[in-house]
Structure 1
Amino acid sequence: MSEGEKLIPINIEDEMKTAYIDYSMSVIVSRALPDVRDGLKPVHRRVLFGMHDLGVNSRSAHKKSARIVGEVLGKYHPHGDTSVYDAMVRMAQEWSMRYLLIDGQGNFGSVDGDSPAAMRYTEARMRKISEEILADIDKETVDFKLNFDDTLEEPTVMPTRVPTLLINGATGIAVGMATNMPPHNLTEVINGTLAFMDNNDIEVDELMTHIKAPDFPTGGIIYGYEGVREAFKTGRGRIVMRAKVGFEEVDGRECIIVTEIPYQVNKADMIKRTADLVNDKKIDGIANIRDESDRNGMRIVYILKRDATPNVVLNTLYKFTQLQSSFSVNNIAIVKGRPQMLNLKDLIHYFIEHRHDVVTRRTQFELKKAEARAHILEGLIIASDNIDEVIALIKASKSTEEAREKLIERFKLSDIQSRAIVEMRLRQLTGLEQDKLRTEYDEIMKLIEHLKALLADVNLRIALIKEELTEIRDKYGDERRSQIEYSGGDVSIEDLIADENVVITISHAGYIKRTNLTEYKTQNRGGVGQKSAGTRDQDFLEHMFVATNHQYMMFFTQKGKCFWMRVYEIPEGSKTAKGRAIQNLVNIESDDKVKAFICTQDLKDQDYIKSHNLIMVTKKGQVKKTSLEKYSKPRVNGVAAITIKEGDELLEAKLTNGESQIILAVKSGKLVRFEETKTRPMGRTASGVRGITLKDDTDEVIGMVTVDKENINDSQILVVTENGYGKRTKLVDEDGEDVYRITNRGGKGVKTLNITEKTGKLISINAVTDADDLMIINKSGLTIRMAIEDLRVMGRATQGVKLINLKGKDSIAAVTKVMKDDVAEVVVDEDGNIIESDAIERVKPVLEVLEDEGVEEDDDEDETEENDAEDETEEDDSDDEA
């Protein structure tokens, strides 16, 4: 320290705060964030201005990048050469900028992430649109400031005619903040700007009819519109982008073809990561990946395995790879020296405000220049009108200064006018030249009048700005590259799963699985069946249902609880697989078991859930109707579906539209049919009312069928007994008479099948048509599938026909109807051998029992609805969990 200097003690914490704030503001304002007016960060502005100084415009030859970088570094940008070259390269990359500002020649990198060649090898020049950004910069339209060493001046902002910030976006990380602005289509942006100028009170929603969404240079698809709307309205949002894909068959294999990828995605990295996921078995269905991109465009080929479902594989790629990515919008720009969050309307407003300022300053400059020229012309015209006197006065003068002074004194001229007259050439004394002076003066005066009008009338300036914007749109506008899918959204798990028909089976011990319906083949009745399920000793299949993967499932337990699950959440297994314990999937008590299952549509659809009811029946004949809306809020631990009385259990649950007919059947072979409207809607926890009167204590309900009124005439009832006998009967005969007459609920019912020791008790009832197949599973695990149309329609009070051959003490475990498929009929024996079609007749013949129309039905009496007040114990209809 030299003598006389003083040390000033400063708290290091305070000094660090001050210094860091200064540093951060320098980074924010002078490096990382764009100016809202011209949309450029300082480095980009300096690159373009440096090229302008060098004269490297769109009409000149390309110049070495190193020369341009050196010009910018030496004059304006006191940072590393890499920062300048990287900024220049990005302005020349068609996958980075929606509208290129620099025309590069040489290797400027690739969408695969390849580095550009060194600056000594590449060349560049400005593109035509860049000249629009610099237009009028020499007309005092913007402020200039001294460069880093105070030797030169550089512009603080460009007088751009183009809304650069909106059409090209910007990305930058400052201190404590960052900006990430997407590019947009120039035609749309200018149309939106013109709409704003017509109505300054325009809302963002109306602007969005012109500027529909960002428009990325790599094209692709904007998937979903909510993020776009949020970004336009608030300046922040998440925009989901997807690759543009198609399906082709190449060499007999189904392929997914990608021709456009999301913005800022590295193609090579995306392919490598996808291959890694395929090798790690995290993505299934892809056999090979080829990159066939060339100078004609992008083409990535995903070759699928033969058993793969293309849409499912594609959705999996969207979920786990960069074929779908997102762009997080954060519209922060420098506004009057401060960073500010901006929505779509703000961005347009500040651009128009800048254009007003530029046009005003340009007009003032041109007016000043025109008035100066008019002033000189006035002096020249005076001189030409008095040319002889002027010549004599000049000849008599001893010097130029003396001549100028005499001219000023004689003709009342200014110093500038006298100087112009003295410097006038002799050729301007001709008559033709004097006429030109007057013509030029008249034109200048008209120009001055126009420029003054512009300055005085804001509407004229608005019209001029609109005219210039229209010229820019017509000159540089193009079609949108990024498509918009307005209904899109995030990929959900169900998008990754094909919505196929499946069979859900539940064993007596509570094991569940789903199997593709195509695994079950159609057989003729009387076959011995095909091995269907591997079960433990003393376990057997008890329930079988047909559904689709995307449907909702509602499980109803025998104790009256309801649980929810999606079909695809059930573990998949082959026909011979055991399945998985239901207790491992839903929180069912150890002494409870699933008894009923319903497939529903979207539980969030208010119209759907309010127009449908759940009809439940217990083994003791209690029936309850409740709106589906009461069950539309799934819970992990389930909810109470019905209150079950002691000694009873829930047997069945059906979904109805409120206008159905309900049919209940009991073990003893009786059936009751009544209108759904006879059962009033009850709360979720109610116990219900009596639906049918049982024969004795050993009798119980074995099933329930609901039939829509419009299907009554075509509906048929199929009943099956425990020993394999069954029949189908129409609800309405050919004369339009009810075969099973409609009664009040609570009666004893009418006979539907003659129960004998040979047939065994009734165990199943289903509503069927000729378009259905019947699937029967016995307790030993064998299954048979047959066409309903192969069973002839029979009368109500008959014994039926034998449907399946049972061995020993085996009996029927479950019966269900399934949709008919197109699989050829085959019969498989117990050892898995296919029986030839001509051998089917040699299968044990079917025993038919003829109808006995003369059977008198003593108990087929008129039923009356009994007083069920004591049975309608409806409990609190709350949503408390059971």
Structure 2
Amino acid sequence: SSPTAAREALLTREWPIAEIAPYIRLVEAVETEVTGDVYRLSDVQVRAILDLRLHRLTALGRDEIGEELKELADSIAELLEILANRAKLYEVLRGELVAVRDLYATPRRTEIAAAADGIEDEDLIEREDMVVTVTVQGYIKRTSLDTFRAQARGGKGRAGMATKDEDVVTELFVTSTHTPVLFFSTLGRVYRMKVWRLPEGGANTRGRPMINLLPLAAGETISTVLPLPEDESEWGKLHVMFATAKGNVRRNSMDSFTNVPSNGKIAMKFEGEDEDDRLIGVALLDEGDDVREFQSRNSTGVRGMRLLGDDQVISLSILHRVGTDADEREAYLRFAPWKAEKEGEPDLTPERYEELRAKEQFILTVCANGYGKMSSAYEYRRTGRGGQGITNIDNIARNGPVLASFPATQSDQLMLVTDQAKMIRLPLTSLRVIGRGSAGVRLFHVAANEHVVSAARIEESEEDAEVNLADNEVETAPLPDATPGDDLAAGPEGGE
């Protein structure tokens, strides 16, 4: 509006005394005493008000702003005091919670109780075959078995675990997610954990340190593992057989390891002259009278094998008794079904021959340079405790040291892992049964300065046994010139 219109509006309006008094005092144009409830401005007062500058008008709100600022300062000081005093802070929190409770609280309409069906975490875990790997520096993981496709014998494998340069895989086994596993440490202690509680990772992951899963002491690492039957009712019928690198053995009832506390328990003590010994293998058996049952868990047992020079025990396996003598075994081996050349008829009745064939077991031996062989267990005669043993495989110069020897069949599959964290899963159908003293054939085409460090047998079901290698993009590698040891495997190796 125009100044004239504003002047007329100010002159004609009756102002409440409380509203217009500050403006009258501001322009210092009080002509008469202000009385009553309303006041009408004079012409002089209107002109004076219209001539006021803006900065003088804004000064009217200083007092109000000052009061508001003082209130904010007092509020900030009070809040800082509450934050600095824990007791006062809890008092304020309690007061606010009580106020919320009084305002919104209602009687509980539900009941928190144990599940009526008894469902536990394990019941929600899918049953699945897993490959568990443990490294020398204590990393562990589980990977689904389906991750590793089958390859032909002599393949180059694939990356199986990401490890540091100075770390290598020492343990490899295949088991179910619901299987309980005993972990035996270098200090002679044992721990127990189910496979589904282990960290799951892909083929190229490193896993997690076991010190984050088990209460390991400083310098303590896991040296060997033992998967147990899922049915705990069978444990009372079993025995645990221990073997050390120096050839000692010990047998304990499985009852000694039924209850393993969360912080572990003593499994074997290495003291005195056995201080430099170590545990290399643990196995379950349901009978055995050659080694007496020990009640104590402290000793390293008794001598199981007499070693010569720098020899060390590297593997422990359990074979089932068949009940044969040396002549029967020799007669069967000359006409075994897997033997290529046979002359004449076996000196055994058809019934006995068929019984020996049905109960025949085979021992698979794997060496560090990727070579191995499968031989009939009938070729390994039974000797007394404390003997020197017999030759298991020839041509160690080419094959490298033996790293594993265990029962297997041609329907099984084999999982190998190298010190460069490569893995290969191969069927044993192409591996022919050859003599105990043979040099073996190539199983894994390792690179220069690469060595196999662990092996595990995979039992195949009837469905899984039908492996179509052509559909799995088999990686193969040409073999170098044959060696005399390879000649013992009858016929050419079609998988190479």
Bin for the TM-score computed over the shorter chain: 0.5 to 0.7
Q: How far apart are residue 491 of structure 1 and its match?
A: 1.0
RMSD of aligned residue pairs (Cα, Å): 2.8
Tell me, in whole angstroms, the C-alpha distance in 2 between the residues paired with 1:543 and 1:679.
26
Residue 743 of structure 1 corresponds to 383
2:434–2:488 Cα contact (<8 Å) kept = no
Deviation of the 1:541 alpha carbon: 1.4
- Shift of residue 656 of structure 1? 1.1
The match for 2:317 is 705
Question: Which runs of structure 2 are paired with 1:175-190 in the superposition (5 Å)?
Answer: none
Instruction: Please state if 1:610 is matched with 2:236.
Output: yes
The 1-side partners of 2:160 and 2:213 are apart by: 22
1:653 aligns with 2:282: yes
TM-superposed CA distance for 1:612, in Å, is 0.3
Q: Which runs of 5+ in 1 are unaligned?
A: 1-177, 179-263, 266-321, 329-487, 659-675, 733-738, 828-833, 854-882
Alignment check: 8 A CA contact 2:178 2:230 kept: no
- 1:278-297 pair list within 5 angstroms: none
Q: How many residues align?
A: 341
**Counterparts of 2:114 and 2:427 in 1: how far apart (Å)?**
55
Match in the other structure for 1:579: 207
1:743 offset after TM fit, Å? Answer: 0.8
What residue identity is the alignment partner of 2:155?
A: G
Partner of residue 542 from structure 1, selected from 170, 189, 196: 170
Contact 2:410–2:431, Cα closer than 8 Å, also in 1: no
TM-score normalised by length of structure 1: 0.37
Match of 1:731 among 365, 369, 377: 377
**Residue 759 (structure 1) aligns with:** 399
1:624 alignment partner AA:
R
Q: What is the letter of the counterpart of residue 367 of structure 2?
A: T
Per-residue CA distance 1:332-367 (angstroms, 9 max, x = gap): xxxxxxxxxxxxxxxxxxxxxxxxxxxxxxxxxxxx
Alpha-carbon distance in 1 for matches of 2:232, 2:440: 44
Q: How far is the alpha carbon of 1:850 from its aligned partner?
A: 4.5
Aligned equivalent of 2:436:
796
**Residues 604, 747 of structure 1: alpha-carbon distance in 2 compared, 3 angstrom cutoff:** same
Aligned partners of 1:846 and 1:788: how far apart in 2? 22
2:480 & 2:441 partners in 1: Cα distance? Answer: 11
| Aligned pairs (5 A) from 1:455-854 | 489-601=117-229, 605=233, 608-644=234-270, 645-658=274-287, 676-683=288-295, 684-696=297-309, 698-709=310-321, 713-732=359-378, 739-820=379-460, 821=464, 824-825=467-468, 836=473, 840=476, 843-844=478-479, 847=482, 849-850=485-486
Question: Are the equivalent residues in 2 in contact too, given 1:802–1:846 (CA < 8 A)?
Answer: no
Tell me, yes or no, if the aligned pair for 1:691 and 1:746 is still in contact at 8 Å. yes
| Aligned residues of 2:440 and 2:488 also touching (Cα < 8 A) | no
Instruction: Give the corresponding residue for 1:169.
Output: none
What pairs with 1:237-256 in structure 2 (closer than 5 Å)? none
Q: Structure 1: which amino acid aligns with 2:451?
A: S
Q: TM-score, normalized by length of structure 2?
A: 0.64
Distance 2:168 2:143 in 1: 17
Change in CA separation of 1:634 and 1:489 when aligned onto 2, cut-off 3 Å: farther
Distance 1:699 1:559 in 2: 22
8 Å CA contact 1:521, 1:823 repeated in 2: no
SS of the equivalent of 1:720 reads strand
2-structure distance, mates of 1:628, 1:773: 29
How far did residue 574 of structure 1 move? 0.8
Are residues 550 and 744 of structure 1, via their aligned partners in 2, closer, same or farther at CA, if it must alter by over 3 Å? same
Deviation string, structure 1 residues 144-203 (Cα, Å, up to 9, x no partner) = xxxxxxxxxxxxxxxxxxxxxxxxxxxxxxxxxx9xxxxxxxxxxxxxxxxxxxxxxxxx
Map of 1:211 onto structure 2: none
Query: Percent identity over the alignment?
Result: 27
> How far 1:591 sits from its partner (Å)?
1.8
- Cross-structure match for 2:88: none
3-state DSSP of counterpart to 1:536 = coil
Letter in 2 for 1:806: V
**Structure-1 separation of matches of 2:177 and 2:230:** 13
Tell me how far apart the structure 1 counterparts of residues 126 and 362 of structure 2 sit (CA, whole Å).
32
**Alpha-carbon distance between aligned partners in 2 of 1:804 and 1:632, rounded to the nearest angstrom:** 38
Contact kept? 2:411, 2:465, Cα under 8 Å: no
Report the counterpart of residue 93 of structure 1 in structure 2. Answer: none
Report how far residue 566 of structure 1 moved: 1.1
Report the secondary structure of 2:259's partner residue: coil
Amino acid at match of 2:385: R
Conserved in 2, the CA contact under 8 Å of 1:803 and 1:846? no
Listed as ranges, the matches of 1:252-331 within 5 Å are none
Shift of 1:728: 0.4
Q: Take 2:256 and 2:473, find their aligned partners in 1: how far apart are those partners?
A: 53
Checking the alignment, whether the CA contact within 8 Å between 2:151 and 2:427 is kept in structure 1 is yes
Taking a change above 3 Å as real, the CA distance of residues 623 and 846 of structure 1, as seen in their structure-2 partners, is farther
CA deviation after TM superposition for structure 1 residue 823, in Å:
7.4
Cα separation, 1, equivalents of 2:256 and 2:409: 32
* 8 Å contact from structure 1 (residues 728, 793) kept in 2: yes
Amino acid aligned to 1:793: V
Q: Identify if the C-alpha distance between structure 1 residues 789 and 847 changes in structure 2 by more than 3 Å, giving closer, same or farther.
A: farther
Give how far 1:621 is off.
0.6
**Closer/same/farther in 2, CA of residues 647 and 494 from structure 1, 3 Å limit:** same
Per-residue deviation, 1:679 = 0.3
The separation in 1 between residues aligned to 2:189 and 2:113, in whole angstroms, is: 42
Q: Secondary structure at the match of 2:397?
A: coil
Matches of 2:466 and 2:411, distance apart in 1: 14
Instruction: Find the aligned partners of 1:493 and 1:812 in 2 and give their Cα distance.
Output: 37
